[in-house]
Structure 1
Amino acid sequence: MAKSSHVILEPGQITYRSYISEFDGVRALGVGSVLLGHFWQPSISKLVFQFGELAWIAVDGFFVLSGFLIAGILLDRIGRPRYFSTFYFRRTLRIFPVYYLALLLGWTLLRFTNGGYGYHYLIQHWGSPMWFAFYVGNIRTAMVGAWPPSAVYDPLWSLQIEEQFYLLFPLAVAFLRREHLRNLLIGAIVLAPVLRLICYFVRPGNVFLQYTLLPCHCEGLAMGALIALRVRSGRWEISKSKIRTLTLVLIGVSAICSAMSTWKTLEPSPLTLFARLPGYTLASAGFACLLIWIVMYRGSSYTAWLRLPPLQYIGKISYGLYILHPIALMVMLEAARKGWWRFHSPLLFFAACVCLSLALAVCSWHCMELPILQLRSRFGRKQAQPAMTAEPLLSESSQ
């Protein structure tokens, strides 16, 4: 690190082809908290279980990271040939294969295990899984006011929020001036909690309106995009005292979200009153501070722990891990139901679910995602800027 009292980010250092390895470490920690929240049982340790319930904070962090990376890609490609087709083609190759594989595996398990009871129960009490096939399952969840009664669909609402953002945001980048784009993003940050407050008074019994709809849960994406816009708008000089302030804000916000989202309630953490009103905004703001901190100190000794090889690898396979881990849970539950494998300990069941999730994610990464990413990297190569680092771009977003 330089001995200057300021950390300086020159415009152009974060570009379309650049790769910040620390983000893989962040993804690994985030998806790890999700696995803990979905697999850990309170009978093993209630304290660890409560920590796992805070995985909703990590999901809001994923939104900030996705907003930063996707906005950066779009801002760096604006004005280049095939702006829209390149972006949508690359997003399709990154998101769709594993997503539809998870839908197919989940549908097969529901339809052909336990006499198809899970599938028929889903149809009768929630609706058709085709809502997920068209990336509008989050809207159906808000309409019904309930989660789909199957673990396979648990993580998909967040992917659908992101996909809807990916569909709309390229238009804003293409047709708005940067100052107008900045105002739009600030407006989204302000409007999201206001919309949640309106939903609270209009439909207080339907908590999913606030949690699963893009307009009500978009501030994280907007904050990430706003940071991406700032780092491309000229020299950014931040004093170390301001970075220390960001660090304190991050710690404070994390403590508040952790304490308030589990206080005097047995509800799932993201659906508490605190989380649904100021919680998502606070969690996103805290992660925005972390993102700025990482961007400023990337490659330094301060972020070396995020570059540890195990975290790096899990971060690379985190998309498959996030979307396929409910499949692992369903397989383990079906194995236990049929007596193929008796889990005499909740801890053993947790370990088995994690191991199977990792195995599915590793297979997905090496057999599907990595070959597709290599194909995707060749598309539009002539239009892309040269890499700013020696490391290849493997993915812009892993959630």
Structure 2
Amino acid sequence: MSGQPSHEILKHRIPALDGLRGIAIALVMLSHFLLRSFWTDKDWYTRVQGGWLGVDLFFVLSGFLITGILIDSKGRADYWSSFYKRRILRIFPLYYFSVIVVWLTVIFWEQAPGRLHGYDSFFWYFSFTPNIAMALKNNWLYHSHVFNLNHLWSLAVEEQFYLLWPLVVRWLPLRWLAAVCVALLCIATPARHWVDGLLGDPLSTASYVLPFCRMDGLAAGSFLAVFFRLDLQHFIPYDKWLARIALCWSGYEIAGIFVHGTEQRLFTLSALFFGAMLYLSLNTHPRALVRRICENRFLMHLGKYSYGLYVFHLMFEYAWLRWFGKALISSTLPPALGQTIYLLLAFAGTYALARLSWALIERPFLRMKKTWAARPAA
């Protein structure tokens, strides 16, 4: 059928994936850069803050890419070493740079090492387990007066996924792997309800950050990676129309939830929504609407620097508030104008930091993939 992607194209860089990363980081930054003080209608403030669903898009993309890499590496002698070396080079340098900067700030600048104990100990960040501490505390962790690292919980979920998922992919046939993905997608919402019931909290922090409660996004992306490598798209009639229906239906349901209040099935619906968006972005027809949106140059540019943007945007939240946020809030500017100026300034500051981190931290380590984590010829 026209426009159907072959699994062969997945072996090359796909520009639309950078665009999807751009959409994800734009949603997350928009959500965190909205200041409640500018909103007279607090209900609308809560609804438009739904940009945090961009994290679910990151999960879908991560599941799709990581599972695809693992499937394509099955049978290689360097299956384990190549995968983990590449993940370390991509994630660890900037992650640990940000954690160490904040740790040193709390100890030496704020002189508050006494705050760093128990669930608020930096042990959790250094071990990639802050989400576990958040679940045990059922709340966000202590942050300094200057920096905030609570958003790193999502990176912890992905790292924990990387520990177990390569085992599953290595030993299961693809059809069984697809079944496991569907099962994980289906049990995520019941798992969140179970955790909420244990804690007596209908929307607990624990159910938001625990890996088995957030498997739906990773599972949806992983399923698509298996789906294309089995070439199942060639056996499903009207596959694009089915994806469009899934996109519209899940989008409608998500919008309805935000109107009436958040509920736990939202995360599974967002996994379906972004999974359908990912599927349609891989349409090989050059004029396909979703593909054209995802190949927008601005979105692709954002996607290229999305890791740095994600790490720094909330890390410097209090810096942005201190340097210009409070002045805008107390000014006589109309709230809409004040919010817009704050968005632009906070984005500009975060973007500058992300570009610096790309040049000084991320890119130098990524270049090491060619030597330290090089793949031998098949």
TM-score, reference length from structure 2: 0.87
1:259 aligns with: 256
In the TM superposition, what whole-angstrom CA distance separates every residue of 1:113-136 from its partner, at most 9, and x where no partner exists? 5x445x644647x42022011011
Q: What's the offset of the Cα at 1:380? A: 4.9
Aligned position for 2:268: 281
SS in 1 for 2:231: coil
Structure 1 pair 11–36 and aligned structure 2 pair: CA distance change class (3 A): closer
Change (3 A) 1:263 1:342: closer
| Kept after mapping to 1: 8 A contact 2:63/2:219 | yes
Does the C-alpha gap of structure 1 residues 93 and 335 become closer, same or farther in structure 2, counting only changes over 3 Å? Answer: same
Contact 2:120 2:142 in 1 (8 A): no
Deviates more, 1:84-93 or 1:176-185: 176-185
Amino acid of the structure 2 residue aligned with 1:187: A
Deviation at 1:62, TM superposition (A): 1.1
Relative distance call for 1:103 and 1:343 in structure 2 (3 A) is farther
- For 1:101 and 1:145, how far apart are their aligned partners in 2? 26
Deviation per CA, 1:253-292, whole angstroms, max 9, x where unpaired?
123223313525xxxxxxx4x1x2x111111011111111
Give runs of aligned pairs for residues 297-376 of structure 1, distance below 5 A. 297=284, 299-302=286-289, 303-335=291-323, 344=331, 346-347=338-339, 348-376=341-369
Shift of 1:208: 2.0
Q: 1:384 to 1:99 in 2, by over 3 A?
A: farther
Tell me which residue corresponds to 1:267: none
**1:341 to partner: Cα distance:** 10
From 40, 48, 54, the equivalent of 1:58 is 54
Q: 1:196 corresponds to which residue?
A: 192
Residue 234 of structure 1 corresponds to 231
Change (3 A) 1:384 1:36: farther
Residue 8 (structure 2) aligns with: 12
1:331-372 Cα distance to aligned partner (Å, 9 max, x none): 2345469x9999746434433222111111010112221222
Which of 32, 48, 52 is the matching residue for 1:38?
A: 32
Which of 124, 127, 130 is the equivalent residue of 2:120? 127
SS at match of 1:296: coil
Residue 61 (structure 1) shift? 1.3
Query: How has the CA–CA distance of structure 1 residues 298 and 218 changed in structure 2, closer, same or farther, with 3 Å as cutoff?
Result: farther
Counterpart in the other structure of 1:290: 277
Q: Would you say the 8 A contact 1:60–1:284 is kept in 2? A: yes
Shift of 1:67: 0.3
Q: CA RMSD in A?
A: 2.8
User: Separation in 1 of the partners of 2:45 and 2:15?
Assistant: 29
Question: Amino acid of the residue matched to residue 375 of structure 1?
Answer: M
Question: What is the letter of the counterpart of residue 263 of structure 1?
Answer: H
What letter corresponds to residue 356 of structure 1 in structure 2? G
Comparing 166-175 with 295-304, which one deviates more in the overlay? 295-304
Paired positions, count: 365
Deviations 1:361-396 (A, max 9, x none): 0101122212222221444545367xxxxxxxxxxx
Indicate conservation of the 8 Å contact 1:7/1:240, yes or no.
no
User: Shift of residue 293 of structure 1?
Assistant: 0.7
CA distance in 2, matches of 1:236, 1:248: 16
Identity percentage of aligned residues: 28
Q: Using the TM superposition, give the Cα deviation of residue 209 of structure 1 relative to its aligned residue in structure 2, in angstroms.
A: 2.3
Equivalent residue, structure 2, for 1:23: 17
Q: Structure 2 stretches of 5 or more lacking a match?
A: none
Amino acid corresponding to residue 246 of structure 2 in structure 1? V
Map of 1:78 onto structure 2: 74
Residue aligned with 1:54, SS: helix
Instruction: Decide which of 159, 169, 176 is 1:173's aligned counterpart.
Output: 169
Give SS of 1:252's match.
Answer: helix
Deviations 1:297-318 (A, max 9, x none): 4754532232232222111000
Kindly provide the amino acid, as one letter, of the partner of residue 320 in structure 1.
G
Aligned counterparts of 1:112 and 1:36: Cα–Cα separation in 2: 32
AA of the residue aligned to 2:151? P
Paired with 1:171 and 1:364, the residues of 2 have a C-alpha distance of 32
| Structure 1 residue 112, shift from structure 2 partner | 4.5
The aligned amino acid for 2:24 is G
Is 2:149–2:315's contact at 8 Å kept on the other side of the alignment? no
Structure 1 counterpart of 2:99, which letter?
Answer: L
What one-letter code is carried by the residue in structure 1 that aligns with 2:310?
Y
Structure 1: which 5+ runs fail to align? Answer: 265-271, 386-399
Residue 87 (str. 1) matches residue 80 (str. 2) = no
Match of residue 390 from structure 1: none
The answer to whether the 8 A contact 1:54-1:258 is kept is no
Give, in angstroms, the shift of residue 111 of structure 1. 3.6
Measure how far apart 1:70 and its partner are: 0.3
